[in-house]
Structure 1
């Protein structure tokens, strides 16, 4: 995932609403979201190269359904070719029996072995953000307070233009009780940010411009899927995904 906005305990009876775009190279093989043959309790997409996932839910569990999602930290100078796949962090949480605090306690000692990541995970009772690049952010690994959050390839709520813009639109749609289609329209925004508002993430300026859109369209790379997840207080979760064609907003 390269953009996630989510509302935690904002709507009564609906602890979590999350909307996300996954940006990836078009030639990296993956399966669309659905039950996993080897773990049918999991509903998620699957990266066929690394074997992990970028976002998913479980149908049930000891504390009810679980949710997990991941974004990469964009830091070219820190990139390591020998690092393990970050998608395993999502898959292992969804497969395992640990709740979020126990899982984070287990992975934290070895988190620096991975390239930079943001991990959002939890269940109906608690939602957590964890990053191996968080520095001294007091929210890292701690229960999130109710509110609306956003994360792209920086840290949680970093004021990147697409994070700021999408959080504002997302909040408005929630207040309106907008239909699901409106969230997918939000995720299909290809507007690029003006140069004065671009973050400096260590990539060339022209690429920074292209990556500033909510929905990215670059030859060979771009937004592969858009996803809307709802975690209910007393019902099975919903995960709706649209697979996008390169440089095309039509569903595959």
Structure 2
């Protein structure tokens, strides 16, 4: 599974704050974040086997995107991100990206995916399993995992218990990352550090280690979009419980 946590319009100084873990086969090659040129350019890690972006940050109108594969579906392509490459999903706003996603699934067939698109003005969760479900996110903290988001989930036919476990992990992560009360208001940076602590804490079940070493958390990302137009991206090229986050110098 993968875990995406987003605090959207929670902090005045930073309308979008993302903390996410990527889980994958340990022998699947990947590349650290780098600039992908184009209009607009963006910064993203890369799946080196299939060429897809794992997540991105781009400057044009400050769009922020993250994807989560659902692990279901029956399309002739593996996932939206790994097969068609979100390089094709370039858009200058979350609203424009919505139109692009809707057009893409209308024109072709894909395996299941979750896709979160957010900027300062809008945030959407797209869930595709042969039918596209689009949810406009409300201001607050949201947690997306392979089987659903914010408490709504499906049970995989082969491993229904895994769906319930992931959903419970997501629920506990969301509860742990609720913003502090106004009397003890925390900053966006403080929340992001708290989110990083949760993502590396094995008690929440989202920093994954396979005893056989075949699968697990391969990387972790922290992204902040600030109200003044600045953005910063920190990346851990391994499980966050044992890998330090480092600033991504290649900013667009």
CA drift at 1:8: 0.9
Instruction: Tell whether 2:119 aligns with 1:127.
Output: no
Q: Is the 8 A contact 2:10 2:140 kept in 1?
A: yes
Q: 1:162 aligns with which of 149, 169, 172?
A: 169
Unaligned runs of 5+ in 1: 193-212
Q: TM-score, normalised by structure 2?
A: 0.75
Q: 1:235 aligns with which of 222, 229, 240?
A: 229
SS in 2 for 1:228: strand
Indicate the residue corresponding to 1:195 in structure 2: none
Structure 2 matches for 1:1-252, cutoff 5 A? 2-36=2-36, 41-58=41-58, 60-61=59-60, 64-75=61-72, 78-79=73-74, 82-87=76-81, 88=84, 90-93=86-89, 96-111=90-105, 113-133=109-129, 140-158=133-151, 160-172=167-179, 175-177=185-187, 178=190, 180-191=192-203, 213-218=205-210, 219-244=213-238, 249-251=242-244
Q: Is the 8 A contact 1:134 1:155 kept in 2?
A: no
Pair 105,180 (structure 1): closer, same or farther in 2 beyond 3 Å: closer
SS in 2 for 1:104: helix
C-alpha deviations, 1:46-85, integer Å up to 9, x for none?
1111211121101x21xx211100001133xx455x3154
Pair 89,145 (structure 1): closer, same or farther in 2 beyond 3 Å: farther
CA RMSD of aligned residues (A): 2.9
SS in 1 for 2:136: coil
Pair 79,25 (structure 1): closer, same or farther in 2 beyond 3 Å: farther
SS in 2 for 1:6: strand
Count of paired positions? 220
Pair 228,167 (structure 1): closer, same or farther in 2 beyond 3 Å: same
Q: TM-score, normalised by structure 1?
A: 0.75
Q: Is the 8 A contact 2:144 2:150 kept in 1?
A: yes
Indicate the residue corresponding to 2:248 in structure 1: none
C-alpha deviations, 1:141-191, integer Å up to 9, x for none?
353221211110122213511111111222257954436543322111223
